[in-house]
Structure formats: C-alpha cells, structure tokens
C-alpha cells in the first residue's frame, strides 16, 4: 500500500537535524517541544523506521535517518518553491547581490540554487569584493542587497550569524613560530586587517608583512606555501589549512558578525525576495541562534574536518 508522507513531518525532521535537538527545532518551527517530538514519532511510524538513536540524552541520526535526510531536504525545498511560486508575485529582471570573497563559497551556492529554481526569470549579478566597498555600493544604490562581515554591530544591517576570527596556516608550517611573525593579509580596506594587527600589538608580538593583497587567491598562495600566516572565519571552511591554537603564541581574535544589508522588510521586489532566501539559508543552518551552529552527529561516526580560507573582507 502506498503511504503519503506529510511535509510537516519531514520539515520537523530536517529542523531537528539542522538545529541538533528537538528543543531548538521547536523554537525554529514555533511549536512546542512535545508537538515536534510527536511529529518525529509519527514520521517514524509512517516509514516503519527508527530515524534517531537516543543515547545519554543525545540524538544521533540512524542509518535510516541518514538515508532519509537528503530526500527530506529536497521535498521540503520543493514544497516551499511550489508554494512560493503560486502565492507570491512573479518576479523578473535583475538582482545585484554583493558578497565578501571569504564567505562566498560557504554560503552562496545553495542560496542561488534555490532562488533560481523559484524565480528562473530573475538574473542574479553577483559582485564579490570587500565589505567596505560592498556596503558603500549598497548605500549608493549600486547593489540591491549585500552580505558583509563586520567587527561591530551596524544599525543599518541585520546580523545573521556570529563567527570566530582565527589564525590559520599551512599544515606542518612553522611560520607562526617565527619572529617577527610573517603575515599575509588584505589591504587597508580589509575589515579583518585592523582587528588582527591590534591583537598582535596588544600581545606584544612583532610582525612583518609578507603580502598585502586585495585578491584572496594571492593570500591563499602565500599561506599554502607555508611562508606566512593569515586570518579567516572559522566557519568558512576550505581544505588545506589548519587553525593555529594556543601553542602558536598568537593572540585570540574576536567574533565577527555576518550581516545582511537589504531592502526594508515588507518591500516587494526581486532583491527583497532574494534577501528572504539568504535569511532562510542561515536560519536553516543555525536555527534561531545565529551565534552558534549545532549539527547532529551521524551514525557512521565520520566527520568532515577542514580549515578556513584566508580572508579578504
């Protein structure tokens, strides 16, 4: 007998996986914890499978849960695309979207994919650059919306996430132990530059510039060669780098805000619609708490370990 799966049950399942707990999923879905628990139970009964392993008050995806996850994500996304296309205005034209170079690979592909599926007649022009220039272009009307990485709150923007700025280097490199510290960093328009240099100054650590560049690829080349260190957001992961910890003799770095500059809430435009997709991506990844991301461990025990990409912000 063919059984239909309720989309709301799949949405609850995806929310629990994305947020890491039933409690956090309930906040995200604006439901009670008991209601979300009941939805998970109903989904397990419908499929005849155990989707979560419950050990020591922690949830872990079962193998059946692993198999379901990608299907559930696609079905929820397809449902939302269908509803969006049938209940909102049909947009066309162009959206000019700014993104700092250090976060584009981490966050942007799924946003563009979902938006393009919902609004295929809207052309997205993506402008990659540093935060200072992107915000200036947004304020001048040259961009419809932009993401930015800020060291302090800006009342003109909404904060989507807090991430930690970290020191990074190449595996097996000893550049971080050299005196003065060899440093590869962005030019004077880079928001991370004054933060890193001030931390070094306060710690009394001498440094020298090996590279001052506007292009991220140049910083990547120098750091990958093992001849300098740089700074990056911990959450912007890329293979080939290591986060330099306490034994590196480097000072701790502060949190950085990932902010969104967008049309006012309530605006009906392609730019405002894309801003909603940006918000949804961050909410889906991190739930209602933008300060941290909690993901469920997988039953296989495998984990993805990577390190950040040098930043030009």
Rounded Cα gap, residues 236 and 183, in angstroms:
19
**Model confidence at 254: pLDDT above 70:** yes
User: Each residue of 74-121: pLDDT tens digit?
Assistant: 999 888 878 776 766 667 889 999 999 888 888 899 999 989 888 888
pLDDT grade for 312, boundaries at 50, 70 and 90: low
**Model confidence at 268: pLDDT above 50:** yes
Rounded Cα gap, residues 174 and 242, in angstroms:
12
Q: Where are the domains of the chain?
A: 7-80, 163-256
Residue with the two structure tokens 């930015």: 148
Average pLDDT score over residue span 176-181: 93
**Model confidence at 309: pLDDT above 60:** no
Q: How much is the mean pLDDT over the chain?
A: 85
pLDDT grade for 247, boundaries at 50, 70 and 90: confident
Please report the pLDDT score of residue 37 as a whole number.
94
Task: Using alpha carbons, list the distances in angstroms from residue 99 to 64, 105, 255, 288, 310.
Answer: 37, 10, 19, 22, 15
Reading the block at residue 31, the tokens are 């439901």
| Antiparallel, parallel or unpaired: β 207-213 and 181-186 | parallel
Please report the pLDDT score of residue 133 as a whole number.
92
pLDDT grade for 292, boundaries at 50, 70 and 90: very low
In degrees, rounded to 5, the angle at the alpha carbon of residue 164 between the alpha carbons of residues 151 and 139 is 30
Please report the pLDDT score of residue 89 as a whole number.
65
**Is residue 118 within 8 Å of 166, Cβ to Cβ?**
no
Question: Distance of alpha carbon 117 from its chain centroid, rounded?
Answer: 20
Q: Which CATH architecture has domain 163-256?
A: 3-Layer(aba) Sandwich (3.40)
Q: Comparing 216 with 174, which gets the higher pLDDT? A: 174
Instruction: Please state which CATH class domain 7-80 belongs to.
Output: mainly alpha
Residue with the two structure tokens 């499978």: 49
Average pLDDT score over residue span 241-265: 89
Average pLDDT score over residue span 3-17: 92
- Tallying the residues shown for the chain, one arrives at 313
Task: Using alpha carbons, list the distances in angstroms from residue 87 to 34, 39, 83, 245, 279.
Answer: 31, 26, 6, 50, 19
Report residue 295: phi and psi, to 5°: -115, 145
User: Each residue of 182-227: pLDDT tens digit?
Assistant: 999 988 888 899 999 999 999 999 999 999 887 777 888 899 999 9
Percent of the chain whose predicted confidence (pLDDT) is above 70: 89
């Amino acid at each position: 007998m063919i059984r239909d799966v309720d989309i709301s049950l799949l949405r609850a399942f995806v929310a629990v996986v994305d947020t890491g707990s039933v409690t956090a999923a309930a906040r995200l879905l604006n439901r009670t914890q008991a209601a979300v628990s009941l939805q998970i139970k109903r989904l397990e009964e419908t499929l005849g499978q155990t989707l979560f392993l419950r050990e020591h008050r922690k949830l872990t995806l079962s193998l059946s849960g692993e198999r379901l996850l990608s299907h559930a994500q696609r079905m929820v996304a397809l449902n939302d695309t269908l509803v969006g296309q049938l209940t909102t205005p049909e947009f066309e034209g162009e959206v000019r979207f700014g993104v700092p170079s250090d976060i584009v690979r981490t966050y942007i592909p799924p946003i563009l994919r979902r938006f393009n599926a919902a609004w295929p007649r809207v052309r997205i022009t993506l402008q990659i650059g540093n935060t200072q220039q992107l915000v200036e272009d947004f304020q001048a009307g040259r961009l419809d919306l932009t993401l930015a990485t800020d060291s302090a709150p800006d009342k003109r923007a909404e904060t989507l996430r807090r991430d930690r700025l970290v020191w990074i280097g190449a595996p097996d490199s000893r550049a971080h132990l050299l005196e003065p510290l060899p440093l590869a960093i962005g030019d004077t328009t880079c928001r991370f530059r004054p933060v890193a240099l001030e931390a070094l100054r306060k710690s009394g650590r001498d440094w020298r510039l090996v590279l001052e560049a506007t292009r991220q690829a140049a910083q990547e080349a120098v750091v990958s060669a093992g001849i300098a260190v740089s700074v990056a957001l911990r959450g912007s992961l890329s293979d080939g780098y290591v986060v330099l910890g306490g034994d590196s003799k480097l000072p701790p770095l502060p949190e950085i805000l990932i902010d969104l500059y967008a049309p006012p809430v309530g605006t009906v435009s392609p730019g405002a619609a894309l801003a909603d997709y940006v918000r949804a991506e961050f909410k889906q990844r991190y739930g209602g708490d933008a300060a941290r991301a909690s993901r469920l461990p997988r039953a296989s025990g495998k984990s993805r370990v990577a390190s950040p990409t040098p930043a030009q912000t």
